[in-house]
Chain A
Amino acid sequence: MNHRAIGAIFNFEINRARRTIGQSIISPVLSTILYFIVFGAAIGGRIDAIEGVSYGAFIVPGLIMQTVLAQSISLASFAIYFPRFSGTIYELLSAPVSFAEVVTGYVGAAAVKALTIGLIILATSFFFVPIEILHPFWMLAFLFLTCITFCLLGFIIGIWADGFEQLQMIPLLVITPLSFLGGSFYSIKMLPEFWQNVSLLNPVVYLVSAFRWSFYGTADVAVGISLAVILAFLCISLAVIAWIFKTGYRLRN
């Protein structure tokens, strides 16, 4: 294994984030905090507690999940798309590295960045709303799994995309709607039965539900099922990555 190559890619990516810290870390954190202020502190006081949790606190896990999800995809997709776009990918393709090492370097760095963003938002949320974390281990585990899974998905999008438009398309047209309807702002139990069932087709529901459970012990979907869905998503992403590796899809002519 070429561990130095993994390290080189990882460090390169982390350095890039440091250089652009305003754009890569501060701006997603800031925009999420604005949600806390508007929905949690300002409007939240007028909304009833949901399942015994004040509305301001109720939305925190979902908001963290939504941001981490969106950031994972955008960080990882951009990280691999940009070298393809600028042509510097030639070096990765001609280096003695395996595809698995390339994925580990890029996805690892993107996941660390997304995780950092999630933890910063979590830390700042304590200033705005009363929060408790009943299952800290599971909280971190779900956060970590989400970062890895959706960084892998982002990596796949970055390889598939044939232009900046396509790069934005999936996050904008698929992830954002799913994410808003994923139960960050409400419990899906509040929906009519039909829409509850439709919601179960939305993978984000499982992420948010499981993550909120790790905070307050209440879930829209049984935690075991959520975990299974997240792991299944992880496996699908890995399978697609393996297929890209085998065929050289969009990487090697």
Chain B
Amino acid sequence: MTAAISVRNLSKTYATGFSALKDVNLDVRRGEIFALLGPNGAGKTTLISTICGIVRPTAGTVEVCGHDISKNYRAARSSIGLVPQELTTDAFETPWNTVAFSRGLFGKPANPAHIEDLLKRLSLWDKKDTQIRRLSGGMKRRVMIAKALSHEPTVVFLDEPSAGVDVALRTSMWEQIRELRATGVTIILTTHYLEEAEEIADRIGVIRKGELILTEDKTDLMKKLGKKELVIDLYEAMNSTPPSLAPYAPALHADGRQIVFTYDDRNGGIPQLLAALNASNIRYKDLSTRQSSLEDIFIHLVGQP
């Protein structure tokens, strides 16, 4: 089966000469939740806008469900629902009308039952005939979600869905995103909240200065996250670690005064490492552990010049 989204050598240079995307390659699998992380101005919105047809690529190709976004734009765009980052709504329209409009715009026959269902699930049913300008910000965002889902897309983009959404609502939104995936929909979201990515994403991509510098399964990333280091301060510096410690992949630091083990809970952890040290008659005066978080990994990745 073809990927939901397949991006090849995509570059975007804006008219200002600013290069917002540099040779991006990405495959998003069908039915997964893909989280795109990156600092402000990294190019997340530009990437999404290009895939959705709002921004013209400078170079490269994009396919959505196997359809090229320029040669076969109708088929490609028909399968996409987009909730943009900015809150932009028809202030004087009602949720019902604006959602029905979106469905028509995407070429689908009117289906009041579907719209009713959508508005109810997004807790907008009692506001369906209220002018959108009289709704709260969080409600407006849900109207935009309803518009994006009006034509039953198979790929949904959520550009910072949790911006300005309160904590309780965020949790319920995660639930709805999972429900959406359960119906087979592929979801690509951007977020600045790492815990959000940890919570719902299947895979994570990190973008920095227009370059996609990492794409990984969340579980693999969590394994890295689960990795811990044990730092042993030695009495006497050593030139090399004894062969008996080789299975634990030790590393010497601080001119041989420190041994650092990377371990995780599955291979016995600290007790086993300490037992090995004792067995090799290595004396130490102190020990400490440290753990790198997704946050650290992220900052490390995006912080590079």
**A residues whose Cβ falls under 8 Å from a Cβ of B:** 2, 4-5, 7-9, 11-12, 15-16, 19, 86-88, 90-97, 248, 252-253
Contact = CB atoms under 8 A, between A and B. Distances in A.
Contacts of A252: 53-56
Given A94-B54, A96-B78, A252-B54, A87 B88 contact: yes
Contact of A253 (B15, B75, B106): B15
B88 A94 contact: no
Overall SS of chain A's interface? helix
B54 A9 contact: no
A90 B77 contact: no
Contacts of A248: 56
Contacts, number: 76
Given A9-B105, A92-B105, 14 more contacts: A5-B107, A11-B104, A86-B88, A88-B88, A88-B89, A90-B82, A90-B84, A93-B52, A96-B76, A96-B77, A97-B107, A252-B53, A253-B15, A253-B56
Interface in B56-97: 56, 73-78, 80, 82, 84, 86, 88-92, 97
Interface size grouping (class) on chain B: 35 or more
Most buried by A among B49, B54, B56, B76: B54
Contact of B91 (A11, A86, A90, A92): A86
A96 B106 contact: yes
A7 B107 CA distance: 10
A166 B100 CA distance: 32
A5 B105 contact: yes
Given A5-B104, A19-B92, A91 B77 contact: no
B109 A4 contact: yes
Given A15-B97, A90-B84, A7 B104 contact: yes
B193 interface: no
A7 B182 CA distance: 33
A17 to B, nearest CB: 12
11 contacts: A8-B104, A11-B101, A12-B101, A86-B88, A86-B91, A87-B84, A87-B88, A88-B89, A252-B53, A252-B56, A253-B55
